[in-house]
Amino acid sequence: MADGPHAALNTFPKLLVRNARQFGDRPAIRHKDLGIWQTWTWRRVYDETRAYAAGLSRLGLRRGDTMAIVGGNRPRLYMSVMAAQMLGAIPVPVYADAVAEELAYVLAHAEVRFAAVEDQEQVDKIISIKERLPQLERMFYEEPRGLRDYDHSRLTPIADIIKDGAEALKDAAFAKTIDDGIANGNGDDPSIILYTSGTTGQSKGVMLTCARSVQAAVDTVMFDKLTERDVALAYLPLAWVGDHYLNYAQSLVAGFCMACPESPETIQQDLREIGPTFYFAPPRTLEQLLTRVTIRMEDASALNKWLYRTFIGIARRYGEKLLNGEPVPLIGRLLYGIGRIVLYEPLKNTLGLSRVRVAYTAGEAIGPDLFAFYRSLGLNLKQLYGQTEAFLYVTAQPDGQIYSDTVGPAMTNVDLRIADDGEVQFRSPGMFTEYFKDEAKTAEVLTADGYVKTGDAGFFDEKTGHLKIIDRSKDVGKLNNGMLFPPKYVENKLKFYPNIREVVAYGDKRDYVAVMINIDLTAVGSWAERNNVAYASYQELAGHPLVYDMIAEHVAEVNKSLASETIMAGAQVKRFLILHKELDPDDGELTRTQKVRRGFIAERYAPLVTALYDGSTEADISTQVTFEDGRKGVISARVKIRDMALEPIRAPVGKAA
Amino acid sequence: MTAPYAEIVPNAASAARSGRIGDRLLSVENVSLSFGGVKAITDVSFDIRKGEIRAIIGPNGAGKTSMLNVINGFYHPQKGRITFRGKTRSKMRPFEAAYGGIARTFQNVALFRGMSALDNIMAGRTLKMKRSFFWQLLRYGPALREEVEHRKFVEEIIDFLKIQDIRRVQVGRLPYGLQKRVELGRALAMEPDLLLLDEPMAGMNVEEKEDMSRFILDVNEHFGTTIALIEHDMGVVMDLSDRVVVLDHGIKIADGTPDEVKANQAVIDAYLGVAH
């Protein structure tokens, strides 16, 4: 860090004081309002937040109290987090799109006395659940629109609190109590409670402490060499650990500027205007961006199409190597240089990514092609693996060591290990202290020697030493010969082929792994057109011998890749079939978020699963389907099963199970 | 400080509004309008008060749009008087109505399709521009300052209607619901005293209707604009308006609060039909 020892700077409010002194005139927050980017300097953020804290103090907010923050990425809401922390109170951010039910649970569980909210929508939501929040005393709002006729006895605009606080601070004695409160901030006190989105059961309040949070952010700021000259667009949900960490915590530590978008719908335009240097996007967002580019290229002129194809080809050949600093022949450098001028830079500019120095993606497995596309354009896109319980980072890929299928080595000061059952466990500087008011859950997750159980199964890649995440631990099964069977890992590897849309893998308590595959009608259909394969229906195409041959090639490649990883070698696919119909949420085969429901499918297609394991080469199946207009019908088919040759398994080495 | 939070209840929107509703802003007296032998409106009288949301409803062909056209001077009634802000007239041209502070939207969106949403709304400021056309061409000095002022106001409307993301998009490429919103924005840009909305929710889905209702209420509250609207969706009309006037075959058959109108036998007959 630029600022010497960090021992004393163990809370975020102390960092704010430092930033106001050191970077006083530099931008801290930007927000596009009425079409124009407004800038708050660090000095102004400090002044306003201090006045805000003073106002909150006069309203009765005390050390240890909790205060909810509900809304989008607005400067005043980030300042609400900061102002609460100045008083030693604990901010509890909640997702803006949380339904009243979730909101009621979190606000009641966290026993919040105050809530700072964005607008009328959130005020209405909280009023609708007020019976369940007996401790809630007062709400503060940012956007006055529509709230004029509400009873204001317990409802205050944030602007008024700041004004009131600024007035009160003129009293030197009062000002001193506020400033002393900041200076005496204790590093061991709670900094924030982040509620995890409860995919399984009720959400849990992850309690993070001040000094640990700051320390974690200091480590990653150094790791990526972030400085006060960096810029990030704060567009991720305020209540998500990713936003609180990447934008709020890192900007306070490094002193960089975070820009708040004008509205959730304008993010793409705001990205272009701000030109961030630090960028995070989940794989789904990156995929949507690429799809948009592809679609627009299809409408482009023939010349432009040709340019795009040619230079994307060149980028794929040389781009990643150049980014990784590997040797590239002169002609490659030359072609890539031309490509930068005619395509890569203009394209990145359109996407708002021209100035990005460090970009991360995380959250789910990213397809190698997708990952390579962005990297080949010269975007330093990396992967990280993290958790709310770790205050985000557990692992991250360092510059120059980037692979699409790993999440990198342990982050600075993080201890990482794989438990005997394959579960990833870590100890990190930012790790949480407890789940708020839930000792049982805390005890479940913490090991005796102070590691956190992630619930994810993983292993260290032999070649790179990087961590690879396989699946949720509870989904990982074992074959009868004791080899590991991680269904999602196998399915994802297959699904990265554009021809394959869905995969369902079986193998738990079986002799070998077998999969059922759904082909992608668009991709395979266009392949069929190019190769003069005639078909009349999805079913016919799916059963075509040439399609089987093509899919078999993909499966063979996946087997080869699995065999190269000692502990995964047993999970090679021995037999596969191509389903005669597309898996569909309407038939209950996929969840609404497009995840396969393995158990349900096993029951529904029981004759096929039996056939996969009894050696038969084909099987009859008839299933009920729901058509788009709601009518039901029955599809019958005879589905062929293909046997695959397995790659030889190398003798186990090292610590493989 | 520690009293239960449960006491906070938002006042029903219309209850709060009743406090703001003021004097008569516009009154229509014994207006009759006919096209050749077709009688569109026969001897209709009603008034609109400052700050209220007034609905004009009726079955198809009842003369609702004709009534709106009479109010903003597009049609000239053969009989009757119209008093707007204390000035009585029997005849007025649309631009006079516009200067006088009446703005409107149309049943079938009438925007400049080739222009951006921003430019369309800016067009609504035309009457407020003080500098001459030639000054504006120069875009220098006072003309530039004036344009900046207008732009600021327009940006507030854009923010208000939550259409920041389509600021630069050609209106012709927008979906219908958004076009309606842009049209409302253009009408608002005139800072009207009286806003006439001709079926603001026609052809919208439930969600779009809810949004539009919210905007209409907010416009009324935020800018204090008096609103007269024609709408087919009864639920919307009953929720939004303070008073409703019901036309049938060009004749006024009822006038009163939504509850009164709902209970009125003549209205029920007009909508559901009567056994003869």
Residues A154 and A302 in one domain: no
A104 has pLDDT over 60: yes
User: With an 8 Å Cβ cutoff, are B222 and A145 in contact?
Assistant: yes
Whether residue B3 is predicted with pLDDT greater than 80 in this model: the reply is no
Quote the CA–CA distance of B121 and B185 in Å, as a whole number: 6
CA angle A204, A206, A212 (to 5 degrees): 170
Rounded to whole angstroms, the Cα distance separating B134 from B241 reads 44
The answer to whether residues A74 and A198 belong to one domain is yes
Asked if residue A367 lies in contact with residue A494, where contact means CB atoms within 8 angstroms, the answer is: no
Distance CA B17, CA A40 (A): 37
Nearest to A149 among B6, B11, B214 (CB): B11
Question: To probe the interface with A, which of B1, B21, B165 has the most A CB atoms within 10 Å?
Answer: B165
Whether the Cβ atoms of residue A173 and residue A147 lie closer than 8 Å to each other: no
Quickly state the pLDDT bin for A2 (edges 50, 70, 90): very low
* Contact across the interface for B9 and A154, Cβ inside 8 Å: no
For residue B164, the chain A residues in CB contact (below 8 A) are 32, 35, 262-263, 265-266
Is the pLDDT at A360 greater than 60? The verdict is yes
pLDDT band with cut points at 50, 70 and 90 for residue A654: very low
Residue A496 CA: distances (Å) to CA of A92, A499, B85, B220: 38, 9, 69, 53
Residue A264 domain flag:
no
Residue A433, pLDDT above cutoff 60: yes
Report yes or no: A129 at the B interface, CB cutoff 8 Å.
Answer: no
CATH of residue A630: 3.30.300.30
pLDDT top residue among A365 and A263: A263
Contacts of residue A344, Cβ cutoff 8 Å, sequence gap at least 6: A311, A315, A319, A377, A378
Residue B234, chain A, CB below 8 Å: the answer is no
For B164, which of A154, A155, A263 is closest by C-beta distance?
A263
Q: Which residue of A has its CA nearest to B162?
A: A263
Residue found under tokens 């396989």: A470
Residue A656: the pLDDT is: 40
Where helices occur in chain B by DSSP H, the ranges are 13-18, 64-71, 94-100, 117-123, 133-138, 142-160, 176-189, 206-222, 234-240, 258-263, 265-272
Instruction: Determine the residue among A142, A147, A154, A156 to mutate to test chain B binding: the one whose Cβ has the most chain B Cβ atoms within 10 Å.
Output: A154
Structural domain that includes position A423: 385-475
Residues A523 and A560 in one domain: yes
Q: Do residues A475 and A482 lie in contact, with contact meaning Cβ atoms separated by under 8 Å?
A: no
CB nearest to A266's CB, from B165, B217, B218: B165
> Which chain A residues are Cβ-neighbours of B218 within 8 angstroms?
145-146
What average pLDDT does range A515-530 have in this prediction? 89
8 Å CB contact of A124 and B10: yes
CA dihedral B109, B110, B111, B112 (to 10 degrees): 140
pLDDT at A15 over 60: yes
CA distance A58 to chain B (A): 12
A37 in contact with chain B, both atoms CB, cutoff 8 A: no
Handedness of CA A219, A220, A226, A227 (dihedral sign): negative
Question: Min CA distance, A35 vs chain B (Å)?
Answer: 6
Domain end position, chosen among A179, A209, A239: A209
Average pLDDT, chain A: 91
Q: What backbone phi and psi angles, to 5 degrees, belong to A168?
A: -65, -30
Q: Which residues contact A245 (CB under 8 A, 6 or more apart)?
A: A216, A217, A391, A392, A393
The structure tokens listed for A649 are 């398994």
Q: Does B9 touch chain A (CB under 8 A)?
A: yes
Query: Within an 8 Å CB–CB cutoff, is residue A34 touching chain B?
Result: yes
Task: Please check the confidence at residue B95 and state whether its pLDDT lies above 90.
Answer: no
Nearest Cα residue in chain B from A143: B160
- pLDDT the model gives residue B18: 63
List CB contacts (< 8 A) between A154 and chain B.
5, 7-8
Tell me if A127 and B10 make a contact (CB, 8 A cut-off): yes
**A124 shares contact with chain B (CB less than 8 Å):** yes
| Closest Cα in chain B, distance from residue A277 (Å) | 23
Chain centroid offset of residue A232 CA: 16
- B-chain residues near A131 (CB < 8 A): 6
Is A434 in CB contact (< 8 Å) with chain B?
Answer: no
Is residue A215 situated within a structural domain? Answer: no
Tens of pLDDT, residue by residue over A247-261, are 999 999 999 999 999
In a domain, A4, yes or no: no
Which of A445, A475, A505 terminates a domain? The answer is A475
Residue A653 binned pLDDT confidence (cut-offs 50, 70, 90): very low
Amino acid at residue number A138: R
pLDDT for position B7 = 37
Task: Grade residue A270 by pLDDT with cuts at 50, 70 and 90.
Answer: very high
pLDDT at B12: 44
Q: Of the spans A91-100, A161-170, B160-169, which averages the highest pLDDT?
A: A161-170
Looking at the structure, tell me whether residues A505 and A442 fall in a common domain. no
Q: Please, where are the H alpha helices in A184-301?
A: 210-223, 241-243, 250-254, 267-274, 283-298
**A424 and A502 co-located in one domain:** no
Mean pLDDT within B124-131: 82
**Token digits of residue A93:** 């951010």
Residue A503 lies in a domain: yes
Q: What was the pLDDT predicted at A325?
A: 85
Residue B31 pairs with which residues in a beta bridge?
Answer: B44
CA-to-CA distance for A270 and A189, rounded, in angstroms? Answer: 36
The answer to whether residues A59 and A166 belong to one domain is yes
Q: Do B225 and B219 meet the contact criterion of CB atoms below 8 Å apart? A: yes
Is A137's Cβ below 8 Å from some Cβ in B? yes
Label residue A228 exposed, middle or buried (CB < 10 Å: 0-12, 13-18, 19+).
Answer: middle
Rounded to 5 degrees, what are φ and ψ at A534? -90, 140
Q: Is the pLDDT of residue B240 over 50?
A: yes
Nearest to A155 among B8, B11, B218 (CB): B8
In angstroms, the separation between the Cα of residue A62 and the nearest Cα of chain B is 14
Domain end: A379, A409, A429, which one? Answer: A379
Q: Do B13 and A149 touch (CB under 8 A)?
A: yes
Q: Which of A31, A34, A57, A127 would you mutate first to test chain B, the one with the most B CBs within 10 A? A: A34
Residue A87: pLDDT above 50? Answer: yes
Q: In whole angstroms, how large is the CA radius of gyration of chain B?
A: 20
Answer whether residue A434 is part of any domain.
yes
A293 and A371 share a domain?
Answer: yes
Number of separate helices (H) and strands (E) present in chain A: 24, 27
**Quick one: which of B57, B71, B53 has its CA closest to B14?**
B53
- Chain B: residue whose CA lies nearest to A113: B2
Specify whether A419 is located in the same domain as A367.
no
Interchain contact, A265 vs B165, CB within 8 Å? yes
The CA distance from A635 to A60, in Å, is: 67
Answer for the pair B62, B54: CB distance below 8 angstroms, yes or no. Answer: no
- Domain harbouring A97, CATH code: 3.40.50.12780
Taking CA–CA distances from B215, the nearest residue in chain A reads A146
Over range B242-255, report the average pLDDT. 92
Q: A44, A40, A19: which is closest to A258 by C-alpha?
A: A40
Assigned domain for A267 exists? no
Which among A34, A134, A154 is the nearest to B159, CB-wise? A34
Q: Cβ of A585: how many Cβ atoms within 10 Å?
A: 14
Asked if residue A481 and residue A470 are part of one domain, the reply reads no
Question: Between A99 and A193, whose confidence is greater?
Answer: A193
A382, A360 in Cβ contact below 8 A?
Answer: yes
Q: Tokens for A599?
A: 């158990």
* Chain A residue at shortest CA distance from B154: A34
| Same domain, yes or no: A613 and A506 | yes
Q: Taking CB atoms and an 8 Å limit, are B8 and A34 in contact across chains?
A: no
Distance (Å, rounded) from C-alpha B44 to C-alpha B23?
Answer: 20
Residues of B in contact with A34 (CB under 8 A): 152, 155-156, 158-159
Res. A604: pLDDT tops 60: yes
The answer, yes or no, to whether ipTM is higher than 0.90 is no
- Give the pLDDT of residue B91: 72
Tell whether A545 and A452 lie within a shared domain. Answer: no
Structural domains present in chain B = 20-101+194-213+226-276 (3.40.50.300), 110-191 (3.40.50.300)
Q: Which residue of B has its CA nearest to A146?
A: B218
Instruction: Look up residue A577 and give its DSSP letter.
Output: E
Q: Hey, is the C-beta of B216 within 8 angstroms of any chain A C-beta?
A: no
Which chain B residues are closer than 8 Å to A149 by Cβ? 10-11, 13, 16-17, 221
Asked whether residue A6 is assigned to any structural domain, the reply reads no
Task: Supply B246's token pair.
Answer: 């019901």
Looking at per-residue pLDDT, the higher value among B114 and B87 belongs to B114
Classify burial at A129, counting beta carbons within 10 Å of its beta carbon; exposed 0-12, middle 13-18, buried 19 or more. Answer: middle
Chain A's closest residue to B167, CA to CA, is A35
Instruction: Tell me which chain B residues have a C-beta less than 8 angstroms from the C-beta of A146.
Output: 214, 217-218, 221-222
DSSP state of B249: T
- Ranges A53-57, A193-197, A319-323, most confident: A53-57
Q: Whole-angstrom Cα distance, residue B105 to residue A223?
A: 57
Nearest CA in chain A to B219: A146
pLDDT of residue B133: 75
**Which among A150, A153, A262 has CB closest to B164?**
A262
Q: Does the beta-carbon distance from A154 to B5 stay under 8 Å?
A: yes
pLDDT of residue A209 exceeding 80, the answer is: yes
Q: pLDDT value at position B19?
A: 67
A41-68 average pLDDT score:
97
Checking phi first, is residue B146 left (phi over 0); if not, alpha (psi -120 to 50) or beta?
alpha
Interval A134-159: pLDDT, tens: 999 999 999 998 888 899 999 999 99
CA distance B213 to chain A (A): 12
B160 touches chain A (CB under 8 A): yes
What's the rounded Cα separation, in Å, for the pair A173 and A170?
9
Q: Which of A343, A339, A373 is nearest to A359 (CA)?
A: A373
Give the nearest partner residue to B10 out of A36, A131, A150, using CB atoms: A150
Q: Is A629 on the interface with B (CB under 8 A)?
A: no
- Cβ contacts of B2 on chain A, cutoff 8 Å: 137
What is the distance of C-alpha A584 from the center of its chain? 25
| Residue A182 included in any domain | yes
pLDDT recorded at residue B17: 63
My answer on whether A76 and A202 are in the same domain is yes
Place of tokens 């610590």: A655
Q: Mean per-residue pLDDT for A107-114?
A: 95
| Per-residue buried b or exposed e for A203-224, using 16+ beta carbons within 10 Å of the residue's own CB | bbbbbbbbbbbbbbbbbbbeeb
Return the percentage of chain A with pLDDT > 70, whole number.
Answer: 96
* A35/B contact by beta carbon, under 8 A: yes
Cα separation of B251 and B67, whole Å? 11
Number of domains in chain A: 4
Shortest CA gap B17–chain A (Å): 9
Banded model confidence at residue B92, pLDDT cuts 50, 70, 90? confident
Min mean pLDDT across A104-113, A535-544, B17-26, B66-75 is at: B17-26
Q: How high is the pLDDT of residue A336?
A: 95
